[in-house]
Structure 1
Amino acid sequence: MPTASKLVAAVLFAIVGAVAAHLFLPTLPEGTPPGYLREVSAAVGAFWGWRTMGRRVGKGMGEAAGSGIVTSVVMLFWVMLLFSVYLMIRRSMRGLFDGPMDALLGVLNIMYDYGHNLLAPGTPIALIVGGILAGWLTEITYKRLG
């Protein structure tokens, strides 16, 4: 059921996703086109903000901060998985994998390789601080609008 807090969570986590993706772009290897990283990250953030954070309101500000971080981690996982599958499909069309199992392992390798890029301080800080702020604002919206 749509509520104001779910809508606020969707909008705020879309912003968190877009900002985190924007901060992640400089860590990509030289010559890698960004594609639709920001847009897809915003869409995934909106979806998981609605589904995860929107359902976890009404338990206090401490729980809201924790739920915001959980939502950011879920969002990060799905963005990385989607883009790893996309890159795997592009590479498999060029014949870089020997079979389906090699391609599935390729998804995990791609996630691992790009996970190292997350060690740059901008993206994790944006996800953690943005998740906490978005969680708090979602909780405030729930308390005021129900």
Structure 2
Amino acid sequence: MPTAAKLFAALAFAALGFLAGGLFGQQLPEGTPTATFGPAAALIGLICGWRISGALAGRGFGVAMGTGVRTAVTILFWGLLAYSIQIMLIRAMRKLYHGPMEALVGVVDLMLDHARLALAPELLAALLVGGFVGGALAEWAGRRWS
């Protein structure tokens, strides 16, 4: 059921996803196409904000900020997974894998490689602060309009 907390959480985490996607794109090697990172991460943030942080609002500001950080980490996970699958599919079309199992293992390897890039201090700080703010905003909206 739509609530104000879900709406505010979805919008806050969509903005956080857009910001995080841009920051992650800066960590990649020069020449890597990054035009879709922001919008794709914003979509992931929208869904995660609605389903996680917005759904769990109403339990207090401390819990909400913790839930916000959980939502931010979930955005990072799904974003890394989506990007790794995209790279795997590109490599698979070039016949760089010898079978489907090697391609699936390649996704995990790519996720681990990209997770190292995601450990940039500015990206982690943005996710942490954005998670706190997004969770608190969802809690505020839930209290204000419930």
Superposition TM-score, scaled by structure 1 size: 0.97
The one-letter code sitting in structure 2 at the alignment partner of 1:48 is C
Q: Does the 8 Å contact 1:68/1:134 carry over to 2?
A: yes
The one-letter code sitting in structure 2 at the alignment partner of 1:126 is A
1:79 matches 2:99: no
In structure 2, the partner of 1:8 is 8
State the percentage of identical aligned residues: 45
The one-letter code sitting in structure 2 at the alignment partner of 1:136 is A
The one-letter code sitting in structure 2 at the alignment partner of 1:28 is L
Distance (whole Å) between structure 1 residues aligned to residue 79 and residue 11 of structure 2: 17
Higher mean displacement: 116-125 or 128-137 = 116-125
Residue 35 of structure 1, CA deviation: 3.5
Superposition TM-score, scaled by structure 2 size: 0.97
In structure 2, the partner of 1:42 is 42
Distance (whole Å) between structure 2 residues aligned to residue 35 and residue 91 of structure 1: 19
In structure 2, the partner of 1:105 is 105
Number of matched residues? 146
Runs ≥4 residues deviating over 2 A: none
The one-letter code sitting in structure 1 at the alignment partner of 2:112 is Y
Gaps of 5+ in 2: none
Distance (whole Å) between structure 2 residues aligned to residue 121 and residue 25 of structure 1: 14
Distance (whole Å) between structure 1 residues aligned to residue 41 and residue 76 of structure 2: 8
Q: Does the 8 Å contact 1:18/1:39 carry over to 2?
A: yes
Q: Does the 8 Å contact 1:20/1:122 carry over to 2?
A: no
Once the two structures are superposed, the pairs formed by residues 52-67 of structure 1 within 5 Å of their partners are 52-67=52-67
Gaps of 5+ in 1: none
